Structure 1
């Protein structure tokens, strides 16, 4: 007979076993029907790999197999490292040598901006007005201002000539205003040059006659005075006459002996102006006058494409391009737009001057196509960015003129900025590729930098220029259009370099990379 306690335990065990075999409903209750069972598996304990112990590692590391593996891996590392080092050396040895950047001066680094009439340049009409507009001028990336003359002298009266401080025309400003202008300009990286042409109001810039010794002595004293004061150079007109005067060499000597190193080395410039001379005469004076930069009206006097190309090539072959200045108008005090004749040619001549080797010189307002209507200097326009007020009556002709000037200035700024950044345009070689009656194309290249092809057509009819490679100027099949005034040559498009067709008054700047 079973005890009462034992019966109770067995009954409980049977109940537990019976409940484990019952099907489960959705809500967890035990179903009445026994149509399935639920098996519950107890998960096994997870075994984690904790790695080898220190003793086990030491034991394995000391085996012969592992020691051989370690030596093999070490040898492979050093072989790979030495292979990479050898490859780097081969690449360096076989790579083309970089050509050293030539020494340049501040007048080689960007265009020069000539302001000869202060009353036309600003409402102030004095030196102070130039300082007030210096930020606007600085946007053009110019590297120097050509100012004056400022001194007082009666026309053709050498006895009244005084080129130093006390002779500054009071209607044009004061010494303090000039010093303030120079200080602000230097902070912006712009140099200041004074025009000291003695008889600038008379018929002959150097008076003529027997007074040359007296004039030269006064000029030498004035040059030293202004250069000591901080002026970055002096400019003299009619270099053909000046360079033949007694004791002329004292002027270049005074200039070169006044080079300073206040903050950075700042070389002083002697700039000469020559008018009405041939390319041969310009070249001779470049070699004999000792000037640092010679500005001529050569491009104004020569109008044919083949003749211009020949003159440019000859000057650059026989002279240092750092001493050659190019202008269309500034040498004679004429605005570029007057030389261009048509608005379309303003952009074309911007392109030409800013891509030739040497230094481009512009007269104030050339960047916006300013044009004189008579003998008087045209007033500079400073409000071209100002659009007509909404709802106001608009003069369509005046508005079209304003928009054109905005485009001229934008184009000038792009070109000037590009010239300062691209080595091929800044100090690269020049090679004529093609020329015709009213068009020309040339190549600018420097070492391993991108190359540039410039094509311009100032004629009244379309023209096709056939481009030819030379031994020193190799051309690829195609180039990219970097800038263009011709609607048929879309910017960033690839065009064939075998032949370039330009519309009348159109120009283009093409770019292609250096290939070894």
Structure 2
């Protein structure tokens, strides 16, 4: 059935004759639930825009007060974090310490061979007749030597080789008339004074006819009796030349038997052989403790610069494992090369044996003057030594201290470093010899570079000379003792007749 308009109006709940959209407002009629409420205008916008934002309020920051800071820092979170940080710091520190110790322990190091006293000592060749120039009596000379012993000990000297005490007329076998410079009590006093000072004393028996023209067996017994007598007085050993008639394996065996009777673990007595020939006789060198060798060959005249350079180069390249060497200068060299040869002798492997020098032997008693060598004594050298005694003593002391405390100089290996002089542009030729000689003493991670300028000209090291060397080092000693502090090899200029020792 069709519904009437009235019924439709009743169903929709609206007034008859009006068209409504139910809950939705239309035209001028505001729907229920719409914004604007009753009486809203038909022109009201459906979407109301948000008001424009105003300026943000300025926030004024201020530091926390002491109470607020203590409250925030003292919270449980901060306390835990601090504990964790402190724990982490100490764990990292302990780990680094343990790692460092492990690296040191596991790093390979050369095995340190314990050296005997004669391998570590600096020997001083002392001639008593040099003291006689200022003394009128032999006993006075011996007393002067005794007064000199503490000064020599302070320079780092450990042993004395007493030369010229006996001659062919006064034999060490004649115990009733011992010594050229005093009776037996004076000699015993000198030995006792050296022992009290802490200096070992070796008696030089070179160039003495110990066997004599008499019965050999009787002389052998006499020699052994005399050796025992001097060993009982405190002598540390004896020196014999390789050109002596008594120098033989049979003699060395007899001497070794006597010396072993007086040797102990703490106080070993020694046998020293002075080499005068170019080659030693093929003997059993286990019977010999020390072989004293010369750096320069013997000559009646002063060696030229090329001859000195060639002799040094030969010595640096010659090594013998079964012989412990003791170096001395030997031949004649110019006065300018004395300090250079001293640096060389004190830095080579072995035990240096320095000859008595007036510059080194300076004491409070200025009347005691001795020369480096009898043949080299002249007015010019004496004048120069008197002007620069302090530098020589300082050089000697510096080298002796370095030998006493540096393992690289005592135990280290020697590596000869050939140095090539660049071409001389003026003459378009190279030098026939190299005036620059160098060698390296190495032990573990410690290296000592020794540079010797034998020539009479300045020389600057070529930066590309040895790429494997460190370029930065520190001066240890120099012949003029005027170089101190760090040095770069790229800027090093060697002066004429100068020797330097650099530690890397």
TM-score, scaled relative to structure 1: 0.64
Partner of residue 113 from structure 1, selected from 117, 121, 124: 124
The Cα of 1:367 is off from its aligned counterpart by 4.6
Contact 2:415 2:440 in 1 (8 A): yes
Partner of residue 341 from structure 1, selected from 329, 334, 352: 334
Residue correspondences, number = 395
Secondary structure of the residue aligned to 2:343 is helix
1:511 matched to which residue of 2?
503
Contact 1:306 1:440 in 2 (8 A): no
Matches within 5 A, 1:255-274: 255-260=259-264, 265-274=266-275
Change beyond 3 A, Cα 1:439–1:240:
farther
1:5 matched to which residue of 2?
none
1:426 matched to which residue of 2?
410
1:177 aligns with 2:181: no
Partner of residue 483 from structure 1, selected from 464, 470, 477: 477
Secondary structure of the residue aligned to 1:340 is coil
Matches within 5 A, 1:66-465: 84-95=93-104, 96-118=107-129, 120=131, 123=135, 125=138, 126-151=141-166, 153-154=168-169, 161=171, 163=173, 165-169=175-179, 171-197=180-206, 200=208, 205=209, 213-238=217-242, 241-244=245-248, 246-260=250-264, 265-275=266-276, 277-278=277-278, 281-282=279-280, 288=285, 290-301=287-298, 303-316=307-320, 318-320=321-323, 323-329=324-330, 339-342=332-335, 344-365=336-357, 367-368=359-360, 370-372=371-373, 374=375, 401-434=385-418, 436-449=433-446, 451-463=447-459
| Structure with the larger helix share | 1
Contact 2:124 2:157 in 1 (8 A): yes
1:55 matched to which residue of 2?
none
Change beyond 3 A, Cα 1:370–1:108:
same
Change beyond 3 A, Cα 1:76–1:111:
same
Change beyond 3 A, Cα 1:500–1:442:
farther
Change beyond 3 A, Cα 1:448–1:211:
farther
Structure 1: runs of 5+ lacking an equivalent = 1-48, 50-64, 156-160, 380-394
Secondary structure of the residue aligned to 2:352 is strand
The Cα of 1:439 is off from its aligned counterpart by 3.8
CA distance in 2, matches of 1:313, 1:216: 40
Larger CA Rg, structure 1 vs 2: 2
Change beyond 3 A, Cα 1:149–1:212:
farther
The Cα of 1:401 is off from its aligned counterpart by 4.8
Q: Deviations over 1:309-330 (max 9, x none)?
A: 34333225x335xx2010113x
Secondary structure of the residue aligned to 1:103 is coil
Q: Deviations over 1:214-252 (max 9, x none)?
A: 444332222222223321111112367544264431112
